[in-house]
Amino acid sequence: MSSPGVFANLTAQRACWHPVAFASEITDRPAHADLLGEPLVVWRGADGTPRAMSDLCVHRGTALSLGWVKGDELVCAYHGWRYGADGRCTAIPQKEDPAAVPAKARVAAYRAQERYGLIWVALDEPRWPLPEVPELEDGEWIIVPAGPYRWRCDAARQVENFTDFGHFPWVHPGLLGDPERPVVPPYQVETDGHVLRYQIVRPEAPNSDDFPVFANEQAGPPERRSRYELHLPYTIVLRLGWGGQRGMVYFFASQPVAADQCVGYVVIGRNYNTDQPDRVIQEFEDTIFGQDQVVVESQRPERVPFDLAAELHLKFDAVAVAYRKTMRDLGLAASDAIGITAK
């Protein structure tokens, strides 16, 4: 299924942290996840820390996620072979001496960590650490997860959609944009290693839920400043502010399940409107992501073409241009891409 052109590079992406689940979903019961075409089993060890291994028993290829955790080991559901957190098989019950295990009996174990309410996995030594988002960790902000949003598209398409200003009035009229105000204010993208930074300032939409908070404080809608950090390949930190202490952090990360599948996770932090129920925020996000999904899943090619000659870019597409260029410059997109498909 690999198409001609320049697409996401599998080898380089293996050396990045990616989310594989909301942390709340991962317990001491093994769970299955797919990352870059690799089947994973994810669970919590005896000390509560997340673990990730290949979801394929070396004996007969059974999914280890069907098994269970005993002590700090994973037991295969088929013949009861046991695996340690490092992926080494530690016991084969069928043998006279179960502890006499051939050295070959091991599966790949991967780095895993829990942060920002998500479980992250890197298949190879990660090139960059996770972004720093103190607002989500200081304990003062209200945190609400939204999603996961499973889309039949490349993670890069999902990320580009999140940063695409031009579509707001068209796809989300009355929610994120106003068709009477389609012009994207000018902005500049600064590239800092694997991080793109840009900000956009616009008057607060009069229909915004947030507007009543400010209504008594100033005449007319306040200006809303949106500061973006796009951490390549697929994580975005968006900070919204109105010039005072009140703020909102919008954390988004897309899990590259396979070349044509992704899962988006949203974690929203805020220090105002603290009594708004989580459900209201989650339903709003479900609506927005649902509106986007229809459009993005229709895009062809399915995967973002990182070759800048492909597609037509205008000035307000500066984020997508910088994203595609930097993905290439850093080797995250390359022409030797492997056509990874979902199982």
CB of 67 to ligand FES, least distance (A): 8
Q: Which does 59 bind (CB under 5 to 8 A by kind): ligand FES, Co ion, none?
A: ligand FES
Q: How far apart are CA 130 and CA 115, in angstroms?
A: 9
Q: Residue 79, interface with ligand FES (CB under 6 A)?
A: yes
Q: How far apart are CA 257 and CA 39, in angstroms?
A: 9
Among 144, 60, 59, 156, smallest CA distance to 102 is for: 59
Q: Which residue has the tokens 């030797």?
A: 336
Q: Residue 251, interface with ligand FES (CB under 6 A)?
A: no
- Burial class of residue 14 in the structure, from the number of CB atoms within 10 Å of its CB (0-12 exposed, 13-18 middle, 19+ buried): middle
List of residues 6+ apart from 213 with CB closer than 8 A: 246, 272, 273
Number of Cβ within a 10 Å radius of residue 95: 12
Q: Which is nearer to Co ion, 52 or 159 (CB)?
A: 159
CB of 21 to ligand FES, least distance (A): 23
Q: Residue 56, interface with ligand FES (CB under 6 A)?
A: no
Q: Which is nearer to ligand FES, 108 or 201 (CB)?
A: 108
Q: Residue 38, interface with Co ion (CB under 5 A)?
A: no
Which one of 76, 184, 330, 337 is in contact with ligand FES (CB under 6 A)? 76
Q: Residue 98, interface with ligand FES (CB under 6 A)?
A: no
Number of Cβ within a 10 Å radius of residue 168: 20
Q: Which is nearer to ligand FES, 60 or 70 (CB)?
A: 60
DSSP string, 159-186: HHHHT-STTHHHHSBTTTB-TT--PPPP
Q: Which does 150 bind (CB under 5 to 8 A by kind): ligand FES, Co ion, none?
A: none
Residue 155, classed as helix, strand or coil, is helix
Which one of 1, 2, 46, 60 is in contact with ligand FES (CB under 6 A)? 60
Per CB under 5 A, which region of 57-65, 116-124, 231-239, 289-297 contacts Co ion?
A: 289-297
CB of 58 to ligand FES, least distance (A): 8
Q: How far apart are CA 148 and CA 117, in angstroms?
A: 12
Which one of 56, 57, 85, 337 is in contact with ligand FES (CB under 6 A)? 57
DSSP 209: T
Q: Which is nearer to ligand FES, 57 or 184 (CB)?
A: 57
Q: Which residues pair with 143 in a beta bridge?
A: 269
Say what the alpha-carbon torsion angle 120, 73, 27, 340 is, to the nearest 10 degrees.
Answer: 40
Which one of 285, 292, 302, 317 is in contact with Co ion (CB under 5 A)? 292
- Burial code (b: 16+ CB inside 10 Å, e: under 16) for 302-331 equals bbbbbeeeeeeeeebbbbbebbbbbbbebe
Q: Which does 78 bind (CB under 5 to 8 A by kind): ligand FES, Co ion, none?
A: ligand FES
CB of 293 to Co ion, least distance (A): 9
Q: Residue 59, interface with ligand FES (CB under 6 A)?
A: yes
Q: Which does 292 bind (CB under 5 to 8 A by kind): ligand FES, Co ion, none?
A: Co ion
Q: Which is nearer to Co ion, 73 or 292 (CB)?
A: 292
Q: Residue 63, interface with ligand FES (CB under 6 A)?
A: no
Q: Residue 81, interface with ligand FES (CB under 6 A)?
A: yes
Residue 286, classed as helix, strand or coil, is helix
Q: Residue 78, interface with ligand FES (CB under 6 A)?
A: yes
CB of 214 to Co ion, least distance (A): 24
Residues 98 and 91: beta-carbon distance below 8 Å: yes
Which residues form the interface with Co ion (CB under 5 A)?
292
Which residues form the interface with ligand FES (CB under 6 A)?
57, 59-60, 62, 76, 78-79, 81
